């Protein structure tokens, strides 16, 4: 009988094992003790070696006594706060929104270390039930408050058939060396139309992980947008399952990285039934010694005939030391499909820069205009003007930081 030999654990892994054992998650603790955190040998973490990158883990978070103002303010939004993993009391919910709590994690069981940690350590999750035409934007404000802590949180969002809604989740908090691990499960009912946005605005000292799961029923319409603009180490997993014919998904994302920052978006889309479509567009911009990573995979099942799926990733490098890594993939088992992927990467277009400067625009200002134009395809994908304005503000702050 073959017995796996435990790996030599780092200080961060030892801390995680202890936290899992103290939480009574012995199976998860043993799995981590044997396998450790993923390294470059794990294909889905090839560019984000957590064993190397994660140097320390703070203690599990205590309840937050004070909750600071939201990182971004969206006019008219209905705000629900999850502070240090605990769902806070919210005001009276508008029509079409039922706010509740669920015990434990909301994520589907899968072979991913971030999912396993979330499943083992989340004690309660937000539960949202949406129906009809939901008028206000829903702002799920996830906070990591107080001194540096390990914060696990969850949110389950059930969107009823024929419902329309816009949901934005932000991750932010105090200026401390937190580690966050947020899980979101979004079920999009038949004929529903939803925009779901996740923005990482956590402190520069922080590490932030997130897992997003989508389930699309027949004729559902989903627009998913991820913006990584906070923690020095960040990774977002996006898993999407098309389970109803006629469903369509737009998946967009943005990594903006600066000196010594490492941000990763990893996407896994599965078209499991016929007559579904998706479009994936992820952009990355890096300066200083920053590293931006995008891994995207489209899976087309054997029965998923007439699938139409196209993936594109684009990178913009603003320094010689920056790194942009991209790995788009297709795995197709059906024979009547239209699928493709592409990737581009480069620096600012010299002819465009020359054109602007020849019209009297200073070089620095011309560069900023071109960077804005590169990013606008993501920020302008949002129809709600207040949310679009908030996302543009996130980009502007990042641009000003490097000015």
Q: Note whether 269 and 402 are same-domain residues.
A: no
Predicted pLDDT at 1: 44
Q: Note whether 144 and 178 are same-domain residues.
A: yes
Residue 386 falls within a domain, yes or no?
yes
Q: Note whether 397 and 276 are same-domain residues.
A: no
Q: How many distinct structural domains can be found in the chain?
A: 2
Predicted pLDDT at 65: 76
Q: Note whether 347 and 367 are same-domain residues.
A: no
* Distance of alpha carbon 324 from alpha carbon 73, whole angstroms: 31
Q: Note whether 286 and 395 are same-domain residues.
A: no
Predicted pLDDT at 402: 65
Residue 26 falls within a domain, yes or no?
no
Give the HSE-up count for residue 45: Cα atoms under 13 Å, Cβ half-sphere: 21
Q: Among residues 89, 81, 19, 16, which one has the least CA distance to residue 55? A: 16
Residue 66 falls within a domain, yes or no?
no
Predicted pLDDT at 4: 56
- Given a cut of 50, the residues of the chain with pLDDT beneath it are 1-2
Predicted pLDDT at 403: 58
Query: Of 353, 375, 393, which one is at a domain's C-terminal end?
Result: 353
Q: Note whether 235 and 296 are same-domain residues.
A: yes
Average pLDDT, the chain: 94
Residue 10 falls within a domain, yes or no?
no
Residue 56 falls within a domain, yes or no?
no
Q: Note whether 341 and 224 are same-domain residues.
A: yes
**How do beta strands 221-228 and 193-200 pair?**
parallel
Q: Give the CA distances from residue 174 to residues 11, 84, 149, 177, 205, in Å, rounded to whole numbers and listed in that order.
A: 24, 11, 10, 9, 10
- CB proximity list for 360: less than 8 A, separation 6 or greater: none
Q: Note whether 177 and 239 are same-domain residues.
A: yes
The per-residue pLDDT for range 186-216, each reduced to its tens digit, is 999 999 999 999 999 999 999 999 999 999 9
Residue 243 falls within a domain, yes or no?
yes
Q: 324 and 315 in contact (C-beta within 8 Å)?
A: yes
* Residue 402 belongs to domain spanning: 354-403
Residue 59 falls within a domain, yes or no?
no
Residue 69 falls within a domain, yes or no?
no
Predicted pLDDT at 7: 75
Q: Note whether 198 and 98 are same-domain residues.
A: yes
Q: Note whether 325 and 374 are same-domain residues.
A: no
- CB proximity list for 400: less than 8 A, separation 6 or greater: none
Beta bridge partners of 18: none
Q: Reduced to 3 states, what is the DSSP secondary structure of residue 112? A: coil
Edge-to-edge strand ranges of the sheet holding 262-271: 97-103, 124-130, 150-159, 179-188, 207-216, 233-242, 262-271, 291-300, 323-332
Q: Among residues 296, 228, 239, which one has the least CA distance to residue 262? A: 228
Q: Note whether 223 and 79 are same-domain residues.
A: yes
Q: Note whether 112 and 238 are same-domain residues.
A: yes
* Distance of alpha carbon 129 from alpha carbon 231, whole angstroms: 30
pTM above 0.85, yes or no: yes
């Amino acid at each position: 009988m073959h017995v796996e030999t435990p790996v030599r654990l780092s200080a961060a892994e030892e801390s995680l094992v202890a936290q899992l054992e103290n939480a009574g998650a012995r199976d998860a603790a043993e799995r981590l003790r044997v396998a450790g955190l993923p390294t470059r040998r794990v294909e889905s973490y090839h560019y984000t070696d957590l064993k190397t990158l994660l140097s320390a883990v703070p203690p599990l978070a205590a309840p937050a006594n004070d909750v600071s103002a939201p990182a971004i303010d969206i006019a008219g939004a209905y705000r629900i706060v999850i502070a240090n993993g605990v769902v806070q009391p919210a005001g009276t919910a508008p029509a079409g929104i039922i706010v509740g709590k669920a015990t434990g994690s909301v994520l589907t069981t899968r072979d991913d270390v971030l999912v396993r940690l979330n499943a083992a350590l989340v004690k309660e999750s937000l539960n949202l039930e949406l129906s009809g035409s939901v008028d206000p934007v829903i702002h799920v404000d996830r906070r990591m408050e107080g001194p540096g802590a390990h914060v696990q949180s969850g949110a389950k969002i059930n969107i009823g058939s024929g419902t329309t809604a816009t949901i934005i989740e932000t991750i932010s908090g105090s200026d401390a060396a937190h580690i966050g691990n947020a899980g979101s499960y979004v079920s999009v009912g038949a004929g529903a139309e939803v925009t779901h946005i996740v923005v990482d605005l956590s402190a520069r000292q922080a590490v932030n992980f997130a897992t997003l799961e989508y389930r699309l029923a027949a004729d559902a319409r989903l627009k998913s947008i991820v913006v990584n603009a906070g923690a020095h180490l960040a990774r977002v997993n996006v898993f999407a399952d098309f389970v109803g014919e006629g469903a369509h998904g737009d998946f967009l994302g943005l990594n903006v990285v600066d000196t010594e920052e490492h941000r990763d978006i990893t996407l896994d889309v599965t078209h499991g039934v016929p007559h579904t479509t998706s479009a994936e567009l992820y952009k990355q911009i890096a300066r200083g010694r920053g590293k931006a990573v995008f891994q995207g995979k489209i899976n087309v099942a054997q029965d998923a005939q007439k699938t139409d799926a196209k993936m594109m990733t684009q990178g913009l490098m603003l320094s010689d030391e920056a790194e942009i890594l991209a790995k788009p993939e297709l795995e197709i088992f059906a024979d009547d499909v239209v699928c493709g992927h592409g990737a581009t990467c480069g620096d600012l277009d010299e002819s465009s820069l020359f054109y602007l400067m020849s019209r009297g625009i200073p070089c620095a200002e011309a560069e900023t205009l071109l960077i804005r134009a590169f990013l606008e395809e993501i920020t302008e994908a949002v129809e709600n003007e207040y949310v679009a304005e908030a996302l543009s503000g996130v980009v502007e702050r990042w641009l000003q930081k490097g000015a």
